[in-house]
Structure 1
């Protein structure tokens, strides 16, 4: 896939992986829509891009704002060619000590809101018969990781949604990509929620020593350009765990084959 003059919309774009992806795509000639809650930080990222960019700040949990953002992103250049569901928050707390509200908040931000944003944009891509949907999951979305029960639940769910959606969209010209990062050197662990829902406020050594965001972003965009459906971006033990739980291409092909053979039409006819 050539990204020259394509419109790429990234949520959670004010820092970390989202900002790195914006820089990578801008360097490949794309036009970038940046979304997140902090307009000033989005503007700071935009100033680094040397590319056409549009800021659409909103909270992914605000459905009305999300629908308005979708309309604005489409109207900017007439289309959204790539959508990256990247907004999210992590966790560092034992299940036994974690407030139920933490589960609700993380699943709302990392799963439900990402699905809602995708659903709002989906008719646009399906009607055009082209586009790419990119879901930033995690190695913790392939392997249940201690101290991240809510996060793993949300990220596993995001992969399940993406895999089912991929099969449905396989006959409509829309590509679906799942990215499973391991430890990337961002503020993800500082911003993670503790047992009572407060920000943790400190980092993990494994995160601090993780893959540089720019290197991770290049691997991700290279994988999307190559048409890879599941892209694991990790090193060491994390990479090994991700590869052990990688979804085989033949299984993804089988699901797409079911749709091509009329599975959806038969199910709908049965009511």
Structure 2
């Protein structure tokens, strides 16, 4: 598979995995659409890219801004690759955490990512090709302490993506779920605490994690290879992810239900 001349749209692209994916895809010849809330930081990322770039800043929780961005992205060069990457993590025990924190994390990490994908679906299904990437987490496969809201959102995102993959299995659109472990980003520093405030400091395991560019290379190589579940982790985190990996034969079985007319039957039954 060649990404030369393709267009990759990445949300949460101002730093971390999102920015690294933009750089790596651009190095492989793809045009890049960068989205996030901070236009200045997106411009800094864009300045280093060797291919054509479009900056579309918006808040993923603003449906009107998101739809306007989708229309602009489609009108620019079309979208061959979409990465639902925007998100926020958590560092607080469930017993101490305000319910508003759950609502905020689930809104950003799950509902907003679904909304952005739904807005783009008519375009990619109409083209009959493309790749949809959902950045979950090892915490989207294994419940991790101090991250109950984050785990709920990331498990949910994987569930949406798995069901969507089955629905699109006859369309030519491929769906990939990415399960990163510790990657050296600001994810822990920006995580929400029990009252919704930012934590403001990182973890040693994050600081010593996989470099973002290496994570991006591993992700894109796996997309190129057609992998549906992509675990990007080392050591114990990788082992945990592999223990919870969905067998390919099960993913094939669910896709086979669609090929056999399951959706049409369900629609006919109302």
TM-score when normalising by structure 1? 0.99
Identify the residue that residue 194 of structure 1 maps to in structure 2.
193
Identify the residue that residue 68 of structure 1 maps to in structure 2.
68
Identify the residue that residue 85 of structure 1 maps to in structure 2.
84
Identify the residue that residue 268 of structure 2 maps to in structure 1.
269
Identify the residue that residue 55 of structure 2 maps to in structure 1.
55
Identify the residue that residue 213 of structure 1 maps to in structure 2.
212
Identify the residue that residue 185 of structure 1 maps to in structure 2.
184
State the alpha-carbon separation in 2 of the partners of residues 3 and 24 from structure 1: 11
Secondary structure, aligned partner of 1:243: helix
State the alpha-carbon separation in 2 of the partners of residues 208 and 64 from structure 1: 36
Secondary structure, aligned partner of 1:113: helix
The answer to whether the aligner puts 1:4 opposite 2:1 as a matched pair is no
The answer to whether the aligner puts 1:172 opposite 2:171 as a matched pair is yes
Offset from partner CA, 1:213-261 (integer Å, 9 cap, x none): 0000000000001100000000010000000000110000001000000
Deviation at 1:129, TM superposition (A): 0.6
5+ unaligned residues in a row in structure 1: which ranges? none
Identify the residue that residue 103 of structure 1 maps to in structure 2.
102
Give structure 1 regions of 4+ aligned residues with deviation exceeding 2 angstroms: none
Secondary structure, aligned partner of 2:184: coil
Identify the residue that residue 251 of structure 2 maps to in structure 1.
252
State the alpha-carbon separation in 2 of the partners of residues 222 and 210 from structure 1: 19
TM-score when normalising by structure 2? 1.00
Secondary structure, aligned partner of 2:160: helix
Identify the residue that residue 34 of structure 1 maps to in structure 2.
34
Secondary structure, aligned partner of 1:49: coil
5+ unaligned residues in a row in structure 2: which ranges? none
Secondary structure, aligned partner of 2:48: helix
Q: How does 1:115-134 map to 2 (within 5 A)?
A: 115-134=114-133
Deviation at 1:50, TM superposition (A): 1.6
Q: Across the two proteins, how many residue pairs are aligned to each other?
A: 270
Provide the aligned C-alpha RMSD in A: 0.4
